[in-house]
Amino acid sequence: MLKKWFGKTETLPLNESFEERVQQATEHTVPTHIAIIMDGNGRWAKKRNLPRVAGHHEGMKTVRKITRFADRLGVKALTVYAFSTENWKRPRTEVEFIMKLPQEFLGDFLPEMIERNIRVETIGEPEQLPAHTRKSLAEAMEATKHNTGLVLTFALNYGSRAEIIQATQKIAQAVQAGELRVEDITEQTMNEALMTASLPEPELLIRTSGEVRLSNFMLWQLAYTEFFFTDINWPDFSEEHLLEAVESFQGRDRRFGGLKGGEA
């Protein structure tokens, strides 16, 4: 079994059972916030001679499965890149299908999320989303707003550059209104102006399907995030693949620009 990031490949031990590995993982530091670029739905469908929308539907089932397992591992926040501001360029029928998925996903999964104490949030620009998509998201957020467990955030009609511009405008307006001095602007000022103000910064980013880029996703927030890239298409991404990513994270030396203890 192999895992890969930035071209580096490492062999995982095969003599441990999955449950033993889960137990070991939970005994060490689990990422507080995991962000996922869910890529490869169309490729998954093409390999099976299915329409692209079949891949998106299967990918929706994977979100449910991975949310459950992330909750089991003790992850506090899971953010999934569901639809970017650039995805409007896709065929109209595909976009319309994707926009119906939140209603189906939340309708089926909402009772379980309430039972599991999961809270639903969203980031992005909702104004352009269809009314039925906004309605289903609003209902799920309202129904789970008092939940205190894992926060499942959908990035819908989201683009990081637009988010940073909006945050900068918000800060500039505060300066213009005399509520903030230019010399008092800090990283925390920007953090609080972003759509993710209520979330911790991601500690682990996962991107599926073999692509090795950020695609305008959480550019500010990912400054010190550990990256994990896999060739697995999103519909095939399993609990074991998530566990591999967490194990990879746990094996890394996170120095945040500093040195290891004792290094000169």
202-248 confidence digits (pLDDT tens): 999 999 999 999 999 999 999 999 999 999 999 999 999 999 999 99
Residue 257 counted as domain residue: no
220 is in an annotated binding site: no
Which token pair is 30?
């689990």
Q: What is the b/e burial string over 219-236, where b = at least 16 CB atoms within 10 angstroms of the residue's CB?
A: ebbbeebbbbbbebbbbb
- Answer for the pair 155, 217: CB distance below 8 angstroms, yes or no: yes
253 is in an annotated binding site: no
Length of the chain: 264
Per-residue pLDDT, 116: 97
- Answer for the pair 139, 131: CB distance below 8 angstroms, yes or no: no
214 is in an annotated binding site: yes
Per-residue pLDDT, 256: 56
List the catalytic residues. Answer: 39, 87
Per-residue pLDDT, 261: 55
Residue 141 counted as domain residue: yes
40 is in an annotated binding site: yes
For the cut 50, the answer to whether the pLDDT of residue 1 exceeds it is no
161 is in an annotated binding site: no
Beta-strand pair 33-37/204-207 = parallel
Tally of structural domains, the chain:
1
55 is in an annotated binding site: no
Report the distance separating Cα 29 and Cα 21, nearest Å: 14
Q: What is the b/e burial string over 115-141, where b = at least 16 CB atoms within 10 angstroms of the residue's CB?
A: ebebbbbbbbeeeebeeebbebbeebe
Residue 104 counted as domain residue: yes
Residue 258 counted as domain residue: no
* Structural domain that includes position 62: 30-158+201-250
Dump pLDDT digits (tens) for 55-85: 999 999 999 999 999 999 999 999 999 999 9
Name the residue type at position 263.
E
Per-residue pLDDT, 132: 96
- Answer for the pair 109, 64: CB distance below 8 angstroms, yes or no: yes
Which token pair is 119?
């809270």
Residue 163 counted as domain residue: no
56 is in an annotated binding site: yes
For the cut 50, the answer to whether the pLDDT of residue 5 exceeds it is no
136 is in an annotated binding site: no
Report residue 260's pLDDT band, with 50, 70 and 90 as the boundaries.
Answer: low
CA 63 to chain centre: 10
Residue 45 counted as domain residue: yes
3-state secondary structure of 228: strand
Residue 195 counted as domain residue: no
CATH number, position 140: 3.40.1180.10
Q: Is 212 exposed, middle or buried (0-12, 13-18, 19+ CB in 10 A)?
A: exposed
178 is in an annotated binding site: no
The pTM score is 0.90
Residue 38 counted as domain residue: yes
3-state secondary structure of 52: helix
Axis crossing angle, helix 18-26 with helix 239-250, rounded to the nearest 10: 40
